Amino acid sequence: MGSGTSTRHHSAFQNAERTFKAAALIQRWYRRYVARLEMRRRCTWSIFQSIEYAGQQDQVKLHDFFSYLMDHFIPSSHNQREFLTHMFTEDRFAQDSEMEKCSDYESIEVPDSYTGPRLSFPLLPDHATALIEAFRLKQQLHARYVLNLLYETKKHLVQLPNINRVSTCYSEEITVCGKSRSEVAFPIFIYILNGLPSPERSYVFNGDFVDRGKDSVEILMILFAFMLVYPKEFHLNRGNHEDHMVNLRYGFTKEVMNKYKIHGKEILRTLQDVFCWLPLATLIDEKVLILHGGVSDITDLELLDKIERNKIVSTMRCKTRRKKEKQMEEKGKANRKSSAQEPIPWFLPQSRSLPSSPLRLSSYKAHKTNRSSSIPCGGCLDGRELSRQVRSSVELELERCRQQAGLLVTGQKEEASRSASEADSEAGELQKPTQEEWRQVVDILWSDPMAQEGCKANTIRGGGCYFGPDVTQQLLQKYNLRFLIRSHECKPEGYEFCHNRKVLTIFSASNYYEVGSNRGAYVKLGPALTPHIVQYQANKVTNTLTMRQRISRVEESALRALREKLFAHSSDLLSEFKKHDADKVGLITLSDWAAAVESALHLGLPWRMLRSQLVNSSADNMLEYKSWLKNLAKEQLSHENIQSSLLETLYRNRSNLETIFRIIDSDHSGFISLDEFRQTWKLLSSHMNIDITDDCICDLARSIDFNKDGHIDINEFLEAFRLVEKSCLEGDTSECPQATNAKDSGCNSPGAC
């Protein structure tokens, strides 16, 4: 029957249409969900990066300040000189003779009860693998063997050129790893995935072996051991973390002192030496250049080949030859009339002209919009206003110090002492590096590639530069190279090509910010020099998590860090909020909230996107900002009895504080005297333009000195404010690493450990 059939057809058609529509609806909804996840992922990444770079900037500002002090403050008494010299334990030149004495490791007794590995030299492959096994079992290498190993390592490194030449003739394949994870599981993992080093399998580790993990010492031991066993096949490049100044902040120094209470100092001193003997770059087949950071438009490989690389003890501060400094000073004075007065940091790259106006050390995002090629000038936070304030408060402080010291400040006095120290240094064994040499090395270790053409100062990191594709091209052409491999930046996929595939960033530490934050990768090169990438993500847990769960975890971690930062800027935030609340109602719009937060924090983050995660108490699009701040504080504080504004200030500067403490605590005992604490705080607060009275500080210091013996236990102090880095307390995140993703089907799948 006609109508029956057509009804059936009709309803069938309707059904089909309904199904189609339903499916389309679900897909539409799902795609939006995925898009929002993606956005969250990106925002999370931005948070981590901007906080990390802000931390690096802090480091720079701090050392900038100390440099200035060292160069301009003339201590009258020996004590004062001592105090300030301790700020920079760089005087290794004097220690060189001490160093040879340190091959006194032989005098260190190893007790019979020691069950860890015992090394004998020359090292054999079995020793190296035994070392790995021992560390896997969480044994600790005895200080004697550590020092022995370091001593042998130094002997080896000294023979190497600045730019290490490697050929694929000898070993068929070369694997390049960038930025290790400071956990013992890391090299084990790499070797399982890729195979142990051998005459057929070369390795290049591209710097940054230490910091931000708990096993940096063990990582170094493993790397050095393999280097000694396979000197022709195992290569290390220096990274910006192979630097005792950076180590002070990022945890390596602490780790060494915790593990080696008696000999830690010696180990650190020896390491300082070893680090500056690490080669600066590796060149494969004269075609592929591997270095840690990048290049700049003035990178001169011939010059780099010739310099005495061990003169560059730390890239954070440069003691250059005085003569040049005087010249720069002269020129600088002439220019200063036009610019806001600023301590001129030597280590920031200067284009052909001298510093003119201070560049804002602004946010992560801002670097992208700041097209000007004007020269950055370290210490200013927010334009001329603040820089003038800083300058004047530092001057005031110096004035006070000088007056206390009974000094008369005249230009002549400065000249006199300067030429005196010049004579001193010339009498010393080693010449200091020139400005040029130092800059070349900083560029290699700190620079990052950028998409735009040109070369400009790397204001985010505070050292090195951003180099464009034209700079890369120029360099490759000049030296007839094929491409560059570098590390230095964390990439979500573990690697990234840029500059027309002429620059490869390789980042081997997966889960760098947090479990699930990123993949790691290494690259293999055969005689054809075609890069072959292997990716992985080393954590059992991430395998079982869905994308959504992974993103949530990482996001939570990022938000926690961000909330800490917000709390640390509570007073700034309050004043910014008040600006938007003219009627003093206590309410501001959510839009104003976003603007205010950016003004206070300068992180360049998408605050409107993040708002729903940070603000959960708004009605009608309006926010009661005072209670919001109070809630923030509640989350962060554990001791309500301490004056909150002081606490907040300390909290904000805690990394700086900790770094300074460790510098002052030159015997690494973990204790500083009340007086040292007060002096430190005075200096820091005048530089950072912090308004805390002397009395407050004295009270604080006294209240922390629990046993009233005139000493402050650094760790206790920091712990009291929950300021100790979580890294000490973090458990094992990568017990049993497994690769989730290997692009090379030829790779054996790793078994579970």
Least separation in angstroms between CB 36 and other proteins: 5
Which span (142-150, 237-245, 252-260, 606-614) binds other proteins, by CB under 8 A? 606-614
Minimum CB distance to other proteins smaller for 591 or for 693? 591
- Binder to other proteins among 396, 405, 430, 451 (CB under 8 A)? 451
Least separation in angstroms between CB 609 and other proteins: 6
Q: Check binding of 12 to other proteins (CB under 8 A).
A: no
- Binder to other proteins among 12, 22, 303, 420 (CB under 8 A)? 22
Angle between helices 216-229 and 125-136 (to 10 degrees): 170
10 Å CB burial of residue 265 (0-12, 13-18, 19+) is middle
- Binder to other proteins among 328, 354, 529, 609 (CB under 8 A)? 609
- Binder to other proteins among 6, 14, 35, 231 (CB under 8 A)? 35
Number of CB atoms found within 10 A of residue 152's CB: 19
| Degrees, nearest 5: CA angle 563-568-574 | 95
CA atoms of 382 and 575, how far apart (whole Å): 16
Minimum CB distance to other proteins smaller for 252 or for 513? 513
Q: How many angstroms separate the Cα of 496 from the Cα of each of 101, 151, 520?
A: 46, 37, 11
Task: Kindly give the residue spans of alpha helices, DSSP state H, lying in 637-732.
Answer: 644-652, 654-664, 674-687, 694-704, 714-720
Least separation in angstroms between CB 44 and other proteins: 11
Q: Check binding of 34 to other proteins (CB under 8 A).
A: yes
Selecting among 63, 235, 241, 687, the annotated active-site residue is 241
Which residues in the 327-366 window bind other proteins by CB under 8 A?
365
Which span (123-131, 138-146, 295-303, 602-610) binds other proteins, by CB under 8 A? 602-610
Minimum CB distance to other proteins smaller for 28 or for 138? 28
Which residues in the 533-552 window bind other proteins by CB under 8 A?
546-548, 552
CA atoms of 263 and 427, how far apart (whole Å): 31
Tokens of 730: 């973090």
- Contact assessment for residue 562 and residue 548, using Cβ atoms and an 8 Å cutoff: no
Q: Check binding of 743 to other proteins (CB under 8 A).
A: no
Which span (83-91, 190-198, 243-251, 605-613) binds other proteins, by CB under 8 A? 605-613
Which residues in the 561-600 window bind other proteins by CB under 8 A?
591, 594
Which span (28-36, 82-90, 440-448, 565-573) binds other proteins, by CB under 8 A? 28-36
The residue count for binding other proteins (CB under 8 A) is 39
Tokens 């947090």, located at residue: 514
Q: Check binding of 38 to other proteins (CB under 8 A).
A: yes
CA atoms of 616 and 507, how far apart (whole Å): 37
Least separation in angstroms between CB 475 and other proteins: 21
- Binder to other proteins among 13, 33, 121, 497 (CB under 8 A)? 33
| SS (HEC) of 202-264 | EEEECCCCCCCCCCHHHHHHHHHHHHHHCCCCEEECCCCCCCHHHHHHHCHHHHHHHHCCCCH
Q: Check binding of 455 to other proteins (CB under 8 A).
A: no
Minimum CB distance to other proteins smaller for 65 or for 607? 607
Sign of CA pseudo-dihedral 513, 516, 517, 520: positive
Q: Check binding of 369 to other proteins (CB under 8 A).
A: yes
- Binder to other proteins among 9, 10, 12, 26 (CB under 8 A)? 26
Which span (12-20, 140-148, 176-184, 476-484) binds other proteins, by CB under 8 A? 12-20
Minimum CB distance to other proteins smaller for 437 or for 576? 576
Nearest Cα to Cα of residue 41 among 610, 430, 575, 596: 610
CA atoms of 386 and 380, how far apart (whole Å): 6
Q: How many angstroms separate the Cα of 628 from the Cα of each of 541, 566, 575?
A: 35, 11, 14
Compute φ and ψ for 82, nearest 5 degrees. Answer: -55, -50
- Binder to other proteins among 8, 9, 10, 21 (CB under 8 A)? 21
Minimum CB distance to other proteins smaller for 36 or for 639? 36
Minimum CB distance to other proteins smaller for 118 or for 365? 365
3-state secondary structure of 665: coil
**Is 241 annotated as catalytic?**
yes
- Binder to other proteins among 31, 138, 155, 261 (CB under 8 A)? 31
Least separation in angstroms between CB 748 and other proteins: 25
Q: Which DSSP string corresponds to 105-143? A: GGGS---TT--S----SS--HHHHHHHHHHHHTT----H
Q: Check binding of 423 to other proteins (CB under 8 A).
A: no
Q: Check binding of 46 to other proteins (CB under 8 A).
A: yes
Tokens of 714: 């650094």
Sign of CA pseudo-dihedral 574, 576, 659, 461: positive
Q: Check binding of 606 to other proteins (CB under 8 A).
A: yes
Query: Alpha carbon 474 to chain centroid distance?
Result: 29
Binding site for other proteins (CB under 8 A): 18-36, 38-39, 42-43, 46, 365, 368-369, 451-452, 546-548, 552, 591, 594, 606-609
> Which residues are known catalytic residues?
241
